[in-house]
Amino acid sequence: MTFAEPGELDADELAAAIAAQNADELRDYQKHMWAWLWMAHPHLAHWARPLHAWLDEPAEPTRDGAMRATADAALRHGLIKLTGDRDRRQRSDILGALLEILRSPSGRDGLGAFHTPLPLADAIVHGMLSELPPPGTPFREPAVGSGIMFCAAASRIRALGGDPANYRWRGTELDPVAAATCAVNAALWGLGGDVLIMHGDEVAEPDIEQRFHRERDAIRAHHQTTIGKVTISRVLAGVRQLVDLANTGPA
C-alpha cells in the first residue's frame, strides 16, 4: 500500500475506499500495486518478493485477517497522506521503520540492524556531497539495510538541482526482508533504472555485483518477452474481432 497514490481522489477518499474493500478486493488491490512495480521496475519487484510472495498463496482467513488489520492500521495512521505526497514519500522510510520495530531485540543485535536516523544520514551525506556529482556516479552501500543513506543521498542530489535517476545505486544486504524493503524504497524514492539491491553477503562474495547485474539483465529480458507476448495476444485478439465483424457484417 505504500505505492498508493490518490490520483483523482483525495487521500481521505482513497483511504475510505480501501477501508471499505472486502478481503478479495483488498487482495486484488495489493496485487495491482505490485503489478505496477513489476511493469515499471521488474527487477525491483523481483527483489521485493519476500514482501509480496504471500499474495501468490491461496486465500486463507488468518492471512486475510492479518492483511485487513495491517491495512486498517496503515490507513488510520495516514499512510495515504504520506505516500500520496511525492515530497513526503521521497523522505520517508516507512517499511524500514516497521522492520526495525518488528524485529526481535536478539535478531537486531545479531545483524547490527539499527538504522541510521534520517537527519543523521542527511548530515553524513551533506558532508560528502558539497556539489552535484557527475551523472553516472555510483553510490555504493555494502550494508544497505532499508536504504536510508540512499534516501539522504537522493534528497541531497535533488537539493543540488540533480535527478537521482541519473546515478547508479548499489546496495548489498544480508537480511532478505531488509533487502526487499530497500528495493521497494528505491522505487518510492525515484532512484531510477540503474539500481542493484543485492541480497547476499558483501564480505563472503566480493564480486556480488556481477551476479546481480546478470540477474537484472535476465529479469528484464523475461519482462520484455512477457510484455511482447501480452501485446501480441492483444493484437491477435483485435484481429480476430475484426475478422468476426467482417464475417458477420452485411453481405
Ligand X SMILES: C[S@@+](CC[C@H](N)C(=O)[O-])C[C@H]1O[C@@H](n2cnc3c(N)ncnc32)[C@H](O)[C@@H]1O
Binding of residue 173 to ligand X (CB under 6 A) = yes
Q: How far is the CB of 179 from ligand X (least distance, A)?
A: 9
Site for ligand X in 27-66 (CB under 6 A): none
- Contact residue for ligand X among 32, 114, 206, 213 (CB under 6 A): 114
Tell me if 99 sits within 8 A of 146, measured CB to CB.
yes
**Residue with the shortest CB distance to ligand X:** 145
- Contact residue for ligand X among 113, 153, 186, 197 (CB under 6 A): 113
- Contact residue for ligand X among 143, 190, 220, 223 (CB under 6 A): 143
Binding of residue 208 to ligand X (CB under 6 A) = no
Which residue stretch of 51-59, 142-150, 213-221, 230-238 sits at the interface with ligand X (rule: CB under 6 A)? 142-150
- Contact residue for ligand X among 27, 89, 115, 216 (CB under 6 A): 115
Residue 71 or 121: the one with the smaller Cβ distance to ligand X is: 121
Q: How far is the CB of 174 from ligand X (least distance, A)?
A: 4
Please return the burial class of 228, using the count of CB atoms within 10 Å of its CB with bins 0-12, 13-18 and 19+.
Answer: exposed
- Contact residue for ligand X among 153, 174, 195, 196 (CB under 6 A): 174
- Whose CA is closest to 152, among 126, 182, 122? 122
Distances in whole angstroms, Cα of residue 91 to Cα of each of 27, 131, 150, 155, 185: 27, 20, 10, 7, 10
Binding of residue 166 to ligand X (CB under 6 A) = no
Residue 75 or 151: the one with the smaller Cβ distance to ligand X is: 151
- Contact residue for ligand X among 61, 105, 112, 134 (CB under 6 A): 112
Site for ligand X in 88-107 (CB under 6 A): none
Residue 38 or 167: the one with the smaller Cβ distance to ligand X is: 167
Binding footprint of ligand X on the chain (CB under 6 A)? 111-116, 141, 143-145, 148-149, 172-175, 178, 201-203
